[in-house]
Amino acid sequence: GDFCRIQPTPGRHAVSIKYKAHARVDGNLLFDHFYYADLTVLCQCSATSCQLYEGSAEDPASPDIGLYSFLSIPWYQDAFQVIAHDVNHTVNFKVDITTNTTLLSAPDLLIVAHHAHLERIIEIIKWIFLLCDIIALGYWSYINRHRRWVRMLPERRLLYISLICNALGSSPMIHFTQAFLSTTWSYFFAQAWAAALSGAWLLSLLIAIDLQRQRTFRCSFFAWKCLLLVFALVMRSISFYTMPANITSLIDLFLAAMAMVIFRAVMMSVRNHMRLKAYAASRPEQLTARVLYFIAILVTYVYIFAALFADPVPEVKVYMANSRVVTNLPIQIISRAASLVLFLIFLPVNNKKMPQLLATTMVFTRENSLFSNTVQKSVRMPKKKPNKLQRLFSSHNSFRETQTPSIFCLETACQLYNLSCHAYYGIPNNKNEPTDVDMDLAAVERDGLVIVKELYDKDTDTHAMVFKDDKRFFVAFRGTNSRRNAITDIDYNFCKPDIFVDKFPDLRLHTGFYCAYMRIRDQLLEMVDEYKELAWYITGHSLGGALATLAAFDLATTFAMDNIIMYNYGSPRVGNHVFSSAYNVFVPRTFRVVNDADVVVGGPKRAIFGMYCVSSLRYKHVGTPVLLSDRASGTFLIDPNIVEMAFIAKLRSNGFSHLLSAYRLKLAKGIKATLADTHSAMTETTPLSVA
């Protein structure tokens, strides 16, 4: 507006303005009243006239500050018409102006309308959120329809509350309250409603985290959390309704930072409590706590971002523009994303499948895993039928049941580790290389084994030892131990293997590993007919683990042997995705023991450098990984899931972790932790499955 209708006196003059305004749109009062306490404009006067000076009283040299808007009001009604076209409106203003000087005439006011297409897009997104929230809440109610509320796990009850908060807060309540409230009160109520639902959602997440520390439902457990929520809501409401927008922004930033501190403090307490428990016995609780902690940190960071980058204009006394609330969109997105993650991981587990699931993730000792019938009875493991590939490439139609259960056995892991160590030595008085160290024959005899044969190729320096006892046949391949072995390791391009091409035309293998295995393959196959009825255990460390993988796959596909068990230690990848899929079908009893941070296990990743995006050129591991981790209190992590790999497993960057001595130390810790651990009953204690 032009407020320089003052008596012309040469020079620059400041005009202080106070106003109180009313606005009506189509005859309806938009807001009761709004005013700005102190607005100052500068007037540049000559001897005959005065004009508005494009500067400010604080900085006259600044040409861009003096012409900010005299009055700004929000109008959202058209934004709710997401499909209809724009319509004409009648806007009436009544403004009472008080100045510190006498105006010669009434000022000229210019009304400028600014249409924001972003508002309409945001409204469409919010309606989509509302639809998705209703669907999620309905489906969650359906899958839990047979569970009574009092018998439901508390995490699932809290997820109910979170889904309800999302559904009720998806679209601004101004859509529904305008029918019985004035525009002002419906707007204010919508803001309070959105803040209360966001607080309730955060409170549910905080309680879910703290439940992993103590499963209690006393009043004191909930009292301090609810008091914090009430304090935050009261503080936010006072700032929103009584203070300028910039003060409200600071309060929002403070509350978001306080929420992060509280969540982190609770999680640190939960983590310290979890460290006192054996990881295997509390694995579901450990995983649940880590997932909730990650979600909480991510959500609080988004809250801080929304509070930090919120738009606090226009600066008016009694309301805040919708542009200020637009920053709720990131909050709504992260809350829906977090709810989706919790929805998926908290899905009820099929009670019939749960014993089978636990059987594949538990560590057994020989006394309860030596005979498969005993194990099947204790965990109700179903008998596996031969699949189509096995029947297709088998020389016989009946698959006999062997006494080699598909579970990780502690004694077997230790014994095969010892054999992997023996493979690095030579037989006394019969060494292939003068530099070979003599094998400890007394240790071999102590294990009840006899040496059957030594497999050796001079050109590639490929070496393996064959042992047996009354019921089992062992093949242990040696790892990298010479310059020729190193050449084998670095020849990582893919090759098309001759022995598998007729059955698997797209199968590709590591060239160095394949060539080294083929040099001793005939020596190995000579013993198949004689010892075929025994259970074959194949093992190796490093390069030996890769060769053991090829040997196990060769025996299973060529001779249709279903009694093969393979444990390797620190093995690199051997083939592409086709090989991995085929291998897991034919040799399901495979366990890759991996020392945490072992750098060799992480390679090779691709056959051609820089071509990781091409799936046919990527390597992939085989079998079931068994992670040896200090972060899990020395526990064997059988088939660690994505949560454990993200929060427990270390980055594979330590070459010392690949040494046999490092594996021995971790195996010793795992034995100690496993023997001291008593597994919990096969019932749900937390909703997050170990799978």
Q: pLDDT tens digit string along 443-463? A: 898 888 999 999 999 999 999
C-alpha torsion angle, residues 302, 307, 310, 314 (rounded to 10): 160
Q: Which of 175, 180, 137 is nearest to 156 (CA)?
A: 137
- Alpha carbons within 13 angstroms on the beta-carbon side of residue 555 total 29
Picking from 407, 456, 410, 415, the residue whose alpha carbon sits closest to that of residue 433 is: 456
Tell me if residue 538 falls in helix, strand or coil: strand
Cβ 360 vs Cβ 638: under 8 Å: yes
466: CATH: 3.40.50.1820
Among 312, 345, 378, the domain-final residue is 345
- Quick check: 553 pLDDT over 90? yes
pLDDT of residue 277: 76
Instruction: Answer whether residue 393 shows pLDDT above 50.
Output: no
Confidence class of residue 72 from pLDDT cuts 50, 70 and 90?
A: low
Q: Residue 387: inside a domain, yes or no?
A: no
* Burial of residue 297, with CB atoms counted within 10 A of its CB: 0-12 exposed, 13-18 middle, 19 or more buried: middle
- Determine the average pLDDT of the residues in 576-596: 92
Q: State the first-to-last Cα distance of the chain, in angstroms, to the nearest integer.
A: 67
Helix axes 245-275, 219-242, angle to 10 degrees: 160
Same domain for 222 and 268? yes
What angle (nearest 5°) sits at the alpha carbon of residue 405, between those of residues 620 and 356?
A: 80
403 pLDDT tier (thresholds 50, 70, 90): very low
Q: What are phi and psi of 492, to 5 degrees?
A: -100, 10
CA–CA separation, 263 vs 281, rounded Å? 25
Residues 142 and 201 in one domain: yes
Lowest mean pLDDT among 137-141, 390-394, 550-554: 390-394
Same domain, 64 and 182: no
Q: 19-33, 205-219, 644-658: which range is least confident on average?
A: 19-33
Considering Cα of 431, then 435, then 436, then 438, what sign does the dihedral take? positive
Amino acid at 447: D
Residue 399 confidence (pLDDT): 36
Number of H helices, E strands in the chain: 22, 18
State residue 182's pLDDT score: 64
Give the pLDDT confidence of 330-358 residue by residue, as tens digits: 787 888 888 888 887 777 654 444 444 44
Give residue 156's domain range: 118-345
What is d(CA 508, CA 549) in angstroms, rounded to the nearest whole number?
A: 14
- 668, pLDDT greater than 80: yes
Rg (CA), the chain: 36
Question: pLDDT (tens digit, 9 = 90+) per residue, 454-489?
Answer: 999 999 999 999 999 988 999 999 999 999 999 999
* pTM of structure: 0.65
Q: Indicate the range of 45-49, 90-94, 633-637 predicted with least confidence.
A: 633-637
The vertex-200 CA angle with 197 and 202, nearest 5°, equals 110
Q: Assess if residue 106 is contained within a domain.
A: no
What pLDDT was estimated at residue 614? 65
Contacts by 523-532 with C-beta closer than 8 Å and gap 24+? 523/453, 523/455, 523/456, 524/455, 524/464, 524/475, 524/551, 525/558, 527/452, 527/453, 527/466, 527/473, 528/555, 528/559, 528/561, 531/468, 531/473, 532/559, 532/561
Helix axes 660-676, 410-422, angle to 10 degrees: 160
pLDDT at position 582: 93
What is the 8-class DSSP label of residue 687? S
The token duo for 203 is: 């409170």
Q: What is the pLDDT of residue 374?
A: 40
Tokens found for residue 279: 């990881």
Strands 50-52 vs 472-477: parallel, antiparallel or unpaired: unpaired
As a whole number, mean pLDDT of residues 183-210 equals 83
- Please name the residue that has the structure tokens 């030596």: 370
Residues 60 and 127 in one domain: no
Tokens of 539: 């093992």
Q: What is the pLDDT of residues 97-124, one digit of tens each?
A: 888 888 888 776 766 666 666 666 777 7
Q: Would you say 13 and 43 are in contact if contact means Cβ atoms under 8 Å apart? A: yes
The CA distance from 667 to 675, in Å, is 12
Domain count, the chain: 3
Residue after which a domain boundary falls, among 321, 345, 369:
345
Retrieve residue 436's tokens. 């070979």
60 and 145: one domain? no
- The tokens describing 135, both together, are 């669907």
- Cα–Cα distance for residue pair 112/69, rounded to 1 Å: 10
Closest to 19 measured CA to CA, from 124, 118, 93: 93
pLDDT band at 172 (very low <50, low <70, confident <90, very high): low
Q: Is the pLDDT of residue 572 over 50?
A: yes
Look at residue 465 in the predicted model and tell me its pLDDT: 94
Please report the DSSP string for 484-514 in residue order. HHHHHHH--SEE--TTTTTT-TT--EEHHHH
The answer to whether residue 61 is domain-embedded is: yes
Alpha helices in 81-173 (DSSP H): 117-143, 154-168
Asked if residue 18 lies in contact with residue 101, where contact means CB atoms within 8 angstroms, the answer is no
Last residue of a domain, one of 345, 371, 394: 345
Counting Cβ atoms within 10 Å, is residue 445 exposed (0-12), middle (13-18) or buried (19+)?
exposed
Domain-located, residue 113 = no
Q: 227: Cβ–Cβ under 8 A, 6 or more apart, which residues?
A: none
| Domain assignment present for 4 | no
Is the pLDDT confidence value at 616 over 80?
A: no
**CATH code assigned at 304:** 1.20.1070.10
Which pLDDT belongs to residue 561? 86
* pLDDT at residue 12 is higher than 70: yes
Q: How far is the CA of 170 from the CAs of 74, 311, 332, 653, in angstroms?
A: 21, 21, 8, 45
67 and 152 assigned to the same domain = no
* 239 lies in the same domain as 307: yes
- 687 part of a folded domain: no
Is 350 part of any domain? no
Q: How many CB atoms lie within 10 A of CB 92?
A: 12
Co-location of 133 and 95 in the same domain: no
Q: Give the pLDDT of residue 677.
A: 57
Same domain, 414 and 488: yes
User: Which has more pLDDT, 23 or 569?
Assistant: 569
- What are φ and ψ of residue 588, in 5° steps? -70, -25
Q: What percent of the chain stands above pLDDT 90?
A: 25
Place of tokens 């050109």: 459
Confidence tier at 611 by pLDDT (50, 70, 90): low
Using the predicted structure, report yes or no on whether residue 384 has a pLDDT greater than 70: no
CA distance 347 to 687: 7
Q: What is the mean pLDDT of residues 146-150?
A: 79
What pLDDT does 64 receive?
41
pLDDT band at 394 (very low <50, low <70, confident <90, very high): very low
CA 88 – CA 11 distance, rounded (Å): 44
Which amino acid, residue 472? R
Give me the torsion for CA of 118, 120, 126, 127, rounded to 10°.
Answer: -160
| pLDDT recorded at residue 184 | 62
State residue 544's pLDDT score.
Answer: 95
Residues 6+ apart with CB under 8 A from 523: 453, 455, 456
Residue 684 belongs to a domain? no
170-183 mean pLDDT: 64
Residue 186 has pLDDT above 50, yes or no: yes
**153 and 94, same structural domain?**
no
Shared domain for 278 and 314, answered yes or no, is yes
Interval 206-228 mean pLDDT: 84
Give me the pLDDT at residue 115, please: 60
Examine the domain organization and report whether 298 and 159 are in the same domain.
Answer: yes
Report pLDDT for 689: 46
- Give 45's strand partners: 11, 50
Residue type present at position 584 = N
Let me know: does 482 contact 468? Beta carbons within 8 Å.
Answer: no
Q: What is the mean pLDDT of the chain?
A: 77
pLDDT at 520 > cutoff 90: yes
